[in-house]
Amino acid sequence: MPNFIFCIHNHQPVGNFDHVIEESYENAYLPFLKAVREYPSVKLSFHITGYLLDWLLENHRPYIDMLREMVKKGQVEIMGGGYYEPILAVIPPQDRVGQIRMMSDKLEKIFGKRPRGMWLAERIWEPQLPRYLKEAGMEYVVVDDYHFVKAGMKKEELAGYYITEDMGSALRVFPGSERLRYIIPFQQVEKFVENVRWVETLGTNPAAIFADDGEKFGTWPGTHQWVYKEGWLEKFLEAITENSELIKPATFSEYMDNNEPIGRVYLPTTSYMEMGEWALPAEASETYTNLVNEVKTWPDGERVRRFLQGGFWRNFFAKYPEANWMHKRMLYVSEQLAVSSKQLTAHSSQLTAHHLLYQAQCNDAYWHGVFGGLYLPHLRRSVYENLIKAENLLEIVSGKQKAVSSNSSQLTAHSSLTQEADFDADTFNEILVRTPSINLFLSPHNGGSIVEMDFRPKAVNLSNTLSRWEEGYHHKVRTQSEKAGSGEAKSIHDLTASKEEGLEKYLFFDRQQKVSLVEHFLKKEETLDSFKKNAHEEIGDFFNKPYENNKGQGSRVKGQVVFSRDGKVKDQSVLVEKKITVKDNEIDVKYRVAGRGERPFAPTTNTDQLLKFGIEFNLILPCCDGSEGFYDVRAKDIGDKGLESTGEIAAIRQIGLVDKWTNMRVDFSFDKEVSLWRFPIETVSISEAGFERIFQGSCLFFFWDIALDTVFETQFTIKVESI
């Protein structure tokens, strides 16, 4: 008789909105568990990630009480995992073990039983994991049958579990069925019964294993209506109960205790099939998707598809430099915490710092597939918020800084810090200037630009923007528009909804990552529209080019860094020097642009001699483009003040960006009049609800009309403060 292992994984990312979690609770989590409880013979292997578990304990304690009763009766086996659902392979070893043990401790406290096995986040498997999972007390893990197929096995060989190991640390590995993932809950219940009958032919005591997201049972579009109102779940549970001679419900542990492993396997580095598509670069992703769809139509397509594999999860760090920087910042904080742990005895702030670090390791913000992930600013913001708070606490523990209210912009410190290191692992050093109020990460190799600018009292990374990268699915957005206009029927591959019309108008992409303090030399006639669409011409070789770090000059003043570059503009030699000085919550920037002449810059009416010299900033406040955020220009009425507004402002000396949601502001003050182009950075991405436009920050381009036969100098100050 086939065993049926029914494994449900419920997850919410750290930093998700309360109303979104509440909606999932009402539409999926609660009705699902209530329904299963009414069928005591149906067993669950159940996983809840730590952030969601804590939310349920705080907001819906009766749900936890109901689950505890089901565990006590033996209907539910609680599974462990990394507390905040990290990709274990890309966090430090001590954090892998720490997160799993933290989860096991919490589950044992709530349910009275320590988990024996675990859910692996996004089923990201790498061969070195068994030793760490075993060290953390895990006996088994569930991945996809896809992992086993990529090891050369056939699906007919996967009706049970296998043994794998690393350096002698053995672990049991269960293969979740891809076929069942597409049947449950989307197809008629009879398809599930047919699959179980097929599994029955595969050996003695075989197992049909379903392991997938609980959000499929009511949160995904259309599923609440189908699963509950149209009765799919009730029919499914009745089918299991009524077919007791065919289906034997079991948990992973029950099956493992009563059945020997089928054999030994060494799984390759992989995840589920769809992840391989998403991790590829845009062109490769589109080509791979088309190839897989084509192979499916071949008479012997399954024979070929078995050996097709897409990309590798870590390639998201190559695909998105923002994800790479965020990941390496996380590693830097983990390293600081590890050093602190060795040097200091246990301290309440130090323990809290571990929790903050673990929250920053939640996987969702580091990648993008069908779900928003990296494209959602509030998830990225949560990562940085936790990292900055952890660093602040570590300074308190080490005695370098005194704790004060987060509403204050003044932190008492012994000294500022300037550190040079390869923070993002690209073989080129970055520079960190840290004061009590500011973290400023500068990249000499990337134009002496600002890669990250943190306001520490509010734990906000103001540089937390996302560039407009091309995606493999963007051709579908254009195709939708074309077919909508032609009246042609859409193929199944084009049937992806859009949340608004005209998204194809926003499909222009950035040449490089959107960072700040970036110099541009443009033609005098260049326009805001061309700059916004990245269709402008760079007439100099300064954009994204290496700058010299003049250490001798910068080291004379604490918190000061000096950059320079000898380059070309219109085939003429030009020297650009910029001096950045950070004091508490202010950043002072001085520029000197020296062309072939030595005479001081002065306004001229000879437009043939002029070009635009400008400095680009890309910033995002926690309010994003909400009503609580706006531009503040005291000298002029600029009309639309929203941070998502577009326009040109001439001859100003001051502009502020205000966030009333978190009560903070960023002010730019100039020593001479400057013109400004402003526009929103907006991406087009895909989510489970369709294509959508997302605000990723505000681009500010400050510029002057200058002549190359002059020496142009300017100075401005950036001040970040609580209000």
What pLDDT score was predicted for residue 498? 85
pLDDT digits (tens, 9 = 90+) for 352-365: 899 999 999 999 99
Q: Are the CB atoms for 102 and 54 separated by under 8 Å?
A: no
Contacts of range 640-645, beta carbons closer than 8 Å, 24 or more positions apart: 643/680, 643/695, 643/698, 644/680, 644/682, 644/695, 644/698, 645/678, 645/679, 645/680
Closest alpha carbon to 264 in 199, 133, 171: 171
Quote the CA–CA distance of 393 and 397 in Å, as a whole number: 6
Instruction: Give the model's confidence band at 609: pLDDT under 50 very low, under 70 low, under 90 confident, else very high.
Output: confident
Quote the CA–CA distance of 390 and 384 in Å, as a whole number: 10
628 in catalytic set:
no
- Tell me what the mean pLDDT of segment 321-325 comes to: 98
> In 3-state terms, what secondary structure has residue 314?
helix
From start to end of 660-709, where are the E strands? 664-687, 690-707
Instruction: Give the model's confidence band at 495: pLDDT under 50 very low, under 70 low, under 90 confident, else very high.
Output: very low
**What residue has token string 């700059």?**
531
Whether 493 shows a pLDDT value over 70: the answer reads: no
What pLDDT score was predicted for residue 485? 45
Instruction: Give the model's confidence band at 417: pLDDT under 50 very low, under 70 low, under 90 confident, else very high.
Output: confident
What pLDDT score was predicted for residue 492? 28
- Tell me what the mean pLDDT of segment 48-76 comes to: 98
Single out the catalytic residue among 122, 144, 391, 659: 122
Whether 504 shows a pLDDT value over 50: the answer reads: yes
Instruction: Give the model's confidence band at 568: pLDDT under 50 very low, under 70 low, under 90 confident, else very high.
Output: very high
Mean pLDDT of the chain: 92
Single out the catalytic residue among 54, 213, 667, 713: 213
> In 3-state terms, what secondary structure has residue 481?
helix
Whether 695 shows a pLDDT value over 80: the answer reads: yes
What pLDDT score was predicted for residue 551? 73
Range of weakest confidence among 17-21, 520-524, 586-590, 636-640: 636-640
pLDDT digits (tens, 9 = 90+) for 162-203: 999 999 999 999 999 999 999 999 999 999 999 999 999 999
Range of weakest confidence among 14-18, 227-231, 554-558: 554-558
122 in catalytic set:
yes
Closest alpha carbon to 252 in 220, 209, 289: 209
Closest alpha carbon to 411 in 454, 353, 462: 454
Using a pLDDT cut of 90, give the percent of the chain over it. Answer: 84
Q: Are the CB atoms for 481 and 490 separated by under 8 Å?
A: no
Q: How wide is the angle at C-alpha 615 spanned by C-alphas 613 and 621, nearest 5°? A: 155
pLDDT digits (tens, 9 = 90+) for 275-294: 999 999 999 999 999 999 99
Whether 604 shows a pLDDT value over 70: the answer reads: no
Q: In the chain, what are the domains? A: 3-266 (3.20.110.20), 272-312 (no CATH), 314-461 (no CATH), 514-722 (2.70.98.10)
Q: How wide is the angle at C-alpha 360 spanned by C-alphas 630 and 169, nearest 5°? A: 165
- Tell me what the mean pLDDT of segment 699-717 comes to: 95
- Tell me what the mean pLDDT of segment 523-542 comes to: 96
pLDDT digits (tens, 9 = 90+) for 581-593: 999 999 999 999 9
Q: Are the CB atoms for 100 and 358 separated by under 8 Å?
A: no
pLDDT digits (tens, 9 = 90+) for 101-153: 999 999 999 999 999 999 999 999 999 999 999 999 999 999 999 999 999 99
Report the DSSP pairing between strands 664-687 and 140-144.
unpaired
